[in-house]
Amino acid sequence: MLNRFTADYLDTLGHADFRPTPSVSGRLASYDGLLMEAVGLSLPVGTVCRVGGHGDSFVEAEVIGFRGGRTLLMNLGGPAPLLPRAPVKPIGPPGEAEVGAALLGRVVDGAGKPIDGLGPIRGAASWPLAGKLQSPLDRGRVLQPLDVGVRAINGLLTVGQGQRVGIMAGSGVGKSVLLGMMVKAAKADVIVIGLIGERSREVADFLETKVAGEARARSVVVAVPANHSPVLRIRGALRATAIAEAFRDEGKKVLLIMDSLTRVAHAGREIGLALGEPASARGYPPSAIAMLPNLIERAGADAHGTGSITAIYTVLADGDDGNDPVVDSARSILDGHIVLTRALAEQGVYPAIDISKSVSRVMTDIAQPAHIHAARVLRRHLATYEQNRDLVLMGAYRAGADPAIDQAIAAHGAIMAYVSQSAGETVSLDDAVMELTGVFGDG
């Protein structure tokens, strides 16, 4: 036994590239079910650690900060029978995401582990979770339209390749259904979908109905339901964006779908409050709102290549409040926003897009003059009708008193028919523009 130990030890020392690697570990000092404090180790923020003993009595946690000489960690898993002074050991480096063609057709969680039962992901490359910092001049202009298959969006809120758009609405108004319509029809090389903080049932439903068939083979899904750790929810959003960035770097036209940006902000709020940050508007600490620009600004077109990331984010307006801090912050950063209203949904108008409150900031750069003119005519008729709606319904308006109101009343039925579309119907960009200019081009 001694001879074998001596031989193995001497053989190890005989290698020229041998470098002893010390084992870094600490001890758990406090734990309240979510936030942990460890002593005896110093690790960079983002490092994943294993907390606990052998067997199943352990959880994974991520380093999120430091306080009073202690390392702060956030639980990534569920409850575990942890004891005081449980060992804390680092198990993974911070900030790397698996990317590349090996992920096409796969579903992963916030930690990058496959959850689709198709086995491990092999041959993937790596990309920083936080992205690679770019100069503003590295971002290209949005000059080419993107067909999303929805008549109202193609015609009145035309989306461009490399644009960042927000779909803003309260709960149950049809955000996910509209996303599904866009995913099925979008002309993109790769579709990256981040289902962040939503119901677990919606994940399976989205996979079976929205990305079934041909779209599934060119899509990557990152699913982190609402019952997962807030750190995993933020990691899921970062991972989906990193995967899209890697495909853009290859020259691909990527469609990035994130449902929802508000759940990412909620996760940031949980972490910020756990760290003792003061709450400001609606209970959001400053770090939760400041995180949104860092995430959104990573999407866009590449000025030095052919790749682009067209990003569509859903934004939940809590209590149907259009001035919610997350809604207001996202609206100021995005290149356009599509507002869905409960009033239209209650009237049976789907998708319930409020044209008067929605805008695409790049439409004038990517649409033809005749198209832009027809869209403005429709908007003018719709605004005139809404301003005088009460007078018309009460019978206080007499036909012929105002030609503009007469035209708006006459066009209202055509406007409602144009913006309405069933979930299973797809209307191409060319068809949407042809219908729009054919009806409103002479206004």
Judged by average pLDDT, the poorest of 18-22, 258-262, 382-386 is: 18-22
- The model carries a pTM of 0.87
pLDDT (tens digit, 9 = 90+) per residue, 92-132?
777 788 999 999 999 999 888 899 888 999 988 999 888 88
Decide: 194 and 311 in contact? Cβ < 8 Å: no
Compute the distance between CA of residue 188 and CA of residue 165 in angstroms, rounded to an integer. 16
pLDDT at 64 > cutoff 90: no
Spell out the domains of the chain, with CATH numbers in brackets.
Answer: 20-90 (2.40.10.170), 96-360 (3.40.50.12240), 370-440 (1.20.1270.330)
- What is the structure's pLDDT at 8? 56
Three-state helix/strand/coil letters over the chain: CHHHHHHHHHHHHHCCCCCCCCCCCEEEEEECCCEEEEECCCCCCCCEEEEECCCCCEEEEEEEEEECCEEEEEECCCCCCCCCCCEEEEEECCCEEEECHHHCCCEECCCCCECCCCCCCCCCEEEECCCCCCCHHHEECCCCEECCCCHHHHHHCCEECCCEEEEEECCCCCHHHHHHHHHHHCCCCEEEEEEECCCHHHHHHHHHHCCCCHHHHCEEEEEECCCCCHHHHHHHHHHHHHHHHHHHHCCCEEEEEEECHHHHHHHHHHHHHHCCCCCCHHHCCHHHHHHHHHHHCCCEEECCCCCEEEEEEEEECHHHCCCCHHHHHHHHHCCEEEEECHHHHHCCCCCCECHHHCEECCHHHHCCHHHHHHHHHHHHHHHHHHHCHHHHHHCCCCCCCCHHHHHHHHHHHHHHHHHCCCCCCCCCHHHHHHHHHHHHCCC
pLDDT (tens digit, 9 = 90+) per residue, 141-153?
999 999 999 999 9
What size, in residues, is the chain? Answer: 443
340 or 187, which is more confident: 340
Average pLDDT, the chain: 87
Percent of the chain with pLDDT over 70: 94
- Split at pLDDT 50, 70, 90, the class of 204 is confident
